[in-house]
Amino acid sequence: MDLALAPETLARWQFGITTVYHFLFVPLTISLAALVAGLETAWVRTGKEKYLKATKFWGKLFLINIAMGVVTGIVQEFQFGMNWSDYSRFVGDVFGAPLAFEALIAFFFESTFIGLWIFGWDKLPKKIHCACIWMVSIGTMLSAYFILAANSWMQHPVGYKLNKATGRAELTDFWHVLTQDTTLVVVFHTLTAAFLTGGAFMVGVAAIHLRRKKHIPVMRTSLRLGLVTLVIGGLLTAVSGDSLGKVMFKQQPMKMAAAEALWDGQNSAPFSIFAVGDVAKGHNDVEISVPGILSFLADNNFSSYVPGINDVNKSEQEKFGPGDYRPNIPVTFWGFRWMIGFGMTSFAIGLAGLWLTRKKFMLAPAMRTGEDEVPNLVLFKSRALGTRLTKWYWFAAVWTLGFPLIANSWGWIFTEMGRQPWVVYGVLRTKDAVSPSVSQGEVLTSMIVFTLLYAVLAVVEVKLLVKYVKAGPPELTEADLNPPTKIGGDDRDPDRPMAFSY
């Protein structure tokens, strides 16, 4: 069968499309849930209206986003069985458990408390209402943890044995699966990247309004919160990414070598900034690189030996038999760069913003601004940024909201493509994982259906987001400012319209 349309290729495309799409919503959901929870807590504690307005504004964007995350998540759980039935048979014993845990512990948490939060404004005392969004936030993080534990097992299978009689992997140590270094580092990396994403989103949206001098008090607070989140998230993403690189170097040397297009192993291995390779010949034609950096990234030592693609390919051939054990090198190489490049650009913009919009530190009194003014962008103690540079900064701040989304997508493409030809590294090949009973026509149908449906929904979602971003924070009503004091709502007026209805 033509390789381009082989069921395996189609199933991979479908998995790639649906997963990358799903993951556009996931990091925003994780971070916005926590940020909205923080804002609502600030309101409950201080009673300041700007916090309630911010809660409602970001809460709305959060809800538009999570709706898509939830529905596209259902596909994920079903498609293991639908498209990858041999995979499911082989790994179900190990892989199924974290998935079931995720549903039973995390999904119920999220979905139940999100319902309470959306409809509970006039039914719950404010502290309990606020607790609900915290529960949602905990749910989102637990969900990430369990699914990443499952994915980490595919990257680095531990705590299992192969049952020769059934030909299946069997769990022997669940605790090991949940706590192996791959899982912990990946969870750390994914969660911090989620906060980088949410912080950048908040900065971008706040900048849209501040550029036009609208909704200043709420957006000023949001901008600062976004910047702090972006910078802390970005810094920790870099730290965790570095740890992940070292784990990967030990566990999946091929991925690390492919990420750098390092064909032959060497000491003081360089970090390649740009390369044009020749996959057939197994070398780079053109390359710009910084020596020693890759060795440092992999092993904390500038002169360590890093094995190359050709070396690992050879050793895997000796171990697993003849075949090509190289992933798609250009995708892996560039995916790694786009991930770091876009993520760190956002981080740099955040770092600049955090300094430029500071409130008091190293800032002349004349440069300070009030609650209802757009902050000056101040470079030195009493020297503001010029008009043109100021304009450019706000422009960059708006655009930064999209960068982490690109970085996240490439991160997943990199780590999943970089593991090929394995679906479970060193244990099960991707070509042996597809559903034998599903025909080419069926996979093609589902792939087209999902792609079209997702495209339409993307348009709908983005338009809605734009509408609500433009609308800005809502005006507060009497009911907003006087939440009920008992559960189930006050009995003041049974015919009163609901605070929120579909």
Partner 1 sequence: MELHDVWFVLIAVLWIGYFFLEGFDFGIGILTKLLARDRTEKRVLINTIGPVWDGNEVWLLTAGGATFAAFPEWYATLFSGFYLPLLIILVCLIVRGVAFEYRAKRPEEKWQRNWEQAIFWTSLIPAFLWGVAFANIVRGVKIDAHMEYVGTFWDLLNPYAILGGLVTLFLFTFHGAVFASLKTLGDIRERSRALALKLGLATAVLALGFLIWTQASRGDTKSLVAMAVAVLALVGAVVAIKVGREGWSFALSGITIAAAVAMLFLTLFPNVMPSSLNDAWNLTVTNASSSPYTLKIMTWCAGVATPIVMLYQGWTYWVFRKRIGTKNIADAH
User: Cα separation of 324 and 362, whole Å?
Assistant: 58
Instruction: Tell me how far, at minimum, the Cβ of 442 lies from partner 1, in Å.
Output: 5
User: Cα separation of 489 and 332, whole Å?
Assistant: 55
User: Residue 212 in 3-state DSSP?
Assistant: coil
28-67: contacts with partner 1 (CB under 8 A): 63-64, 67
Instruction: Tell me how far, at minimum, the Cβ of 475 lies from partner 1, in Å.
Output: 13
Binding mask 118-157 for partner 1 (x = CB under 8 A): xxx--xx---------------------------------
R_g of the chain, CA atoms, integer Å: 25
Quickly list H helices, 47-180.
Answer: 49-83, 85-101, 108-119, 126-155, 174-179
Using CB under 8 A as the binding rule, whether residue 446 contacts partner 1 is answered as: yes
Figure out which of the listed residues 83, 237, 272, 357 binds partner 1, where binding follows CB under 8 A: 83
Report the residue number, 453 or 481, with the smaller CB distance to partner 1. Answer: 453
The token pair at 238 is 């870099």
Report the residue number, 95 or 325, with the smaller CB distance to partner 1. Answer: 95
Figure out which of the listed residues 321, 365, 370, 436 binds partner 1, where binding follows CB under 8 A: 436
Using CB under 8 A as the binding rule, whether residue 82 contacts partner 1 is answered as: yes
Figure out which of the listed residues 20, 41, 49, 77 binds partner 1, where binding follows CB under 8 A: 77
Using CB under 8 A as the binding rule, whether residue 350 contacts partner 1 is answered as: no
User: Cα separation of 263 and 250, whole Å?
Assistant: 17
User: Cα separation of 257 and 309, whole Å?
Assistant: 5
Figure out which of the listed residues 26, 52, 75, 378 binds partner 1, where binding follows CB under 8 A: 75
Region binding partner 1 by CB under 8 A among candidate stretches 1-9, 87-95, 351-359, 419-427? 87-95
Using CB under 8 A as the binding rule, whether residue 80 contacts partner 1 is answered as: yes
Number of residues binding to partner 1, judged by CB under 8 A: 76
Using CB under 8 A as the binding rule, whether residue 101 contacts partner 1 is answered as: yes
Report helix angle 108-119 to 126-155, nearest 10. Answer: 150
User: Residue 359 in 3-state DSSP?
Assistant: coil
Sort 263 into a burial class: Cβ within 10 Å, 0-12 / 13-18 / 19+: buried
Output DSSP code: residue 102: I
Within 10 angstroms of residue 174's Cβ, the number of other Cβ atoms is 15
Report the residue number, 91 or 256, with the smaller CB distance to partner 1. Answer: 91
Using CB under 8 A as the binding rule, whether residue 85 contacts partner 1 is answered as: yes
Figure out which of the listed residues 93, 181, 287, 299 binds partner 1, where binding follows CB under 8 A: 93
The token pair at 236 is 């920790």
Using CB under 8 A as the binding rule, whether residue 474 contacts partner 1 is answered as: no
For the chain, the first-to-last Cα distance in angstroms comes to 49
Using CB under 8 A as the binding rule, whether residue 171 contacts partner 1 is answered as: yes
Instruction: Tell me how far, at minimum, the Cβ of 361 lies from partner 1, in Å.
Output: 41
